[in-house]
Structure 1
Amino acid sequence: STATFVTNYLPIMLFPVLYAIAKVVTKAPLVKPGEMDFDSGVAEIEAITHDDPPSKNWMEAVWMWL
């Protein structure tokens, strides 16, 4: 049907247009893969989002609570 066609293929056609508009508006340069930084700030994020594993039994839960 037409609705399914538009829903499936419109994003494929619209993405390059929106990407180009965003690059022009923000004037952000392309970053080469070798220049990308994936390491800075990881320790802080890990410290904030670290969750302790759940207690295995009630005795361990009491011990961790103390």
Structure 2
Amino acid sequence: MRSAYELVSIGDSESDLLRKMGKSYPRYFKHRDGRSFCNATEYVYEIDMQVYTVWVCNGKIFRIDVNNK
């Protein structure tokens, strides 16, 4: 995910995300993937007419969705 000159990608830590992109209003939920699950956090950012949804599990980014506004 790009914001001007910064980049966040899958596998980066949650602290990297917050440092580079700033804090949005998080949403907390339980994420299930097959037999494993974790307490996940969802952050939403609006950048350049696109909405980025970033999901964090166990302190690491595991999914980034991009949608047009």
Q: TM-score scaled by structure 2?
A: 0.18
Larger Rg: 1
If asked which structure has higher relative contact order (CA below 8 Å, sep 6+), I would say 2
Higher fraction of helix: 1
